Each structure stands twice: as C-alpha cells, then as structure tokens.
Amino acid sequence: MRKVRSQIVVALVCCILGFMLAYQFRIISLQESNISLQGDSSQITGQVEQLKNEKDDLNKKINELQTKLKQYQDAAVTKSGADKQMLKELDNLNALTGNVDVSGPGIIITITPRNNNIFSSDIDSMRNVITDAALINIVNDLRFAGAEAISINEIRVTSYTGIKTSGGVSNIFIGSSDVISPYKEIIIKAIGDKDKLNSGMVFPGVLDNSNIPSSSYTVASPKKSDNIKILKSNKVLNFQYAKPVSK
C-alpha cells in the first residue's frame, strides 16, 4: 500500500512540474515573439491578456495538484516518530524552496518614488533610479538578520531567484519571468524574528546606504507585524548539471 502511495506522490509531483514548466516555456515564447513585433500594440495586448488567462488557469491546476499531493503525503506516513520527523523535514524543505505559502511574524519595508526628478531628462543615468543592486543589498541584509522567507511585490525570493535591472533601467526582473517597475512603490516582506530583522535593517549604513537614490525615493522605517503572509513561488527547480555525489 505504501508503495502505491509513493508512486501516486511521484506522479503528482511530475504533473506539477509539467504544468509549471509549460507555463515558463509559454512566457519565454511570448517574450521572443514580442521582440519581433513592430509596434502592433493591439496584438501585444491580446497576447498579454491570453498569457494572463493561461497563467491563472495553470496556477489553479497547480494549487489543486499541490493540495492533493499534501493529502497523499499526510496519508503516506504513520504515527511513528520517524515518519513524523520525515514529514516535518519535507514541510521545511517546501518552505525553503518556496513551494508553499508561509506566514508568520516579520517586517515590511516600503520604498516609494518621490515623483519629482525620477522622470527627469537625467533618467538615463542610473544614479536617479533604484536598480537591482539596492534590492540585492536589502535581501542579503535580511537574510543575514535571519529572514526565513522574503518577497518583493508579492514575488517570492528564494536562494535561486536572480535579480537584474533591464537595459535602460525600465524594469527590474525578479527571477526569469517576473518583472517590477522601478518607478512604482516597492514593498519588501520578510518573515522571521521581527525584532532582529528590524534591528538589522535600521542599523546605520543599511537602508540609508543601500544604493537607493534618496533624491528620488523615500524609505519608510520597517513596519513590524505578527502576521505576514508570503505566497509560494511559481518557479520549478530543475537541476540539469548538479548531481548528488555517490559515495
């Protein structure tokens, strides 16, 4: 019976990976097709809307499959201490890799454009616009202070999430497909010991010296909270080159 349950769990995992890979390939395909379009805004708008609908449908299916997977995982273990520990380690791994929604105490950091010279003719100079460097510094400082989960504008940031500014400073990519605007409000959430996180961020030289142009942005003091929710990531971890070392 346990063998059958294990096979079912593996099959569900494969289904989840398949749906999420299809979603990422669809995004890449759309990005490539947009490059070849010559100003046909109506066509671009239609494709974006179609992609949004496909993303919503895939997310619903992924949520349904992950719910079933959790049910099978709970049913596959017995009441023994070893099985309980295994399930706890699996839950911790899912939280670490961003595969599940998490909630808990922490802090919220809000970065708001001043809207004065951020749209000036000097926009081609990065010194007036927030870039990936500022966000990377903040994320690193949060992790150093003990953050267990982090998000930027509701986008989950894990150890596998890259942050990169686009050419011309028009966008900031969070991972391979998510994008935020440097000209709109940026909200960073972190779950962990809220007092330690707050102390780490208000320490002199952290937020006030994190490559955030003070002439273009205001950074509010971190807000402590007892109930922060960070959504799961929609990315698939697919190791192609790194393999376990056999002993």
20-68 per-position pLDDT tens digit: 655 555 555 555 455 444 445 566 666 667 766 766 776 676 666 667 6
The answer to whether 182 and 202 are in contact (CB under 8 A) is: no
Asked if pLDDT for residue 161 goes beyond 70, the answer is: yes
Confidence at residue 37, expressed as pLDDT on a 0 to 100 scale: 47
CATH 3.40.50.2000 describes domain 102-230 = no
Q: Which residues, 6 or more positions from 231, have their beta carbon under 8 angstroms from its beta carbon?
A: 101, 151, 154, 156
57-72 per-position pLDDT tens digit: 766 766 666 676 666 6
Percentage of the chain beyond pLDDT 70 is 56
| pLDDT band (50, 70, 90) for residue 101 | confident
Burial class (CB in 10 A: 0-12, 13-18, 19+), 201: buried
Asked if pLDDT for residue 199 goes beyond 90, the answer is: yes
Confidence at residue 29, expressed as pLDDT on a 0 to 100 scale: 54
How many CA atoms does the CB half-sphere of 104 hold within 13 Å?
13
Ordered by start, the domain boundaries in the chain are 2-76, 102-230
The predicted model scores a pTM of: 0.66
Confidence at residue 153, expressed as pLDDT on a 0 to 100 scale: 96
Confidence at residue 109, expressed as pLDDT on a 0 to 100 scale: 96
Reduced to 3 states, what is the DSSP secondary structure of residue 161?
coil
Percentage of the chain beyond pLDDT 90 is 34
Asked if pLDDT for residue 146 goes beyond 90, the answer is: yes
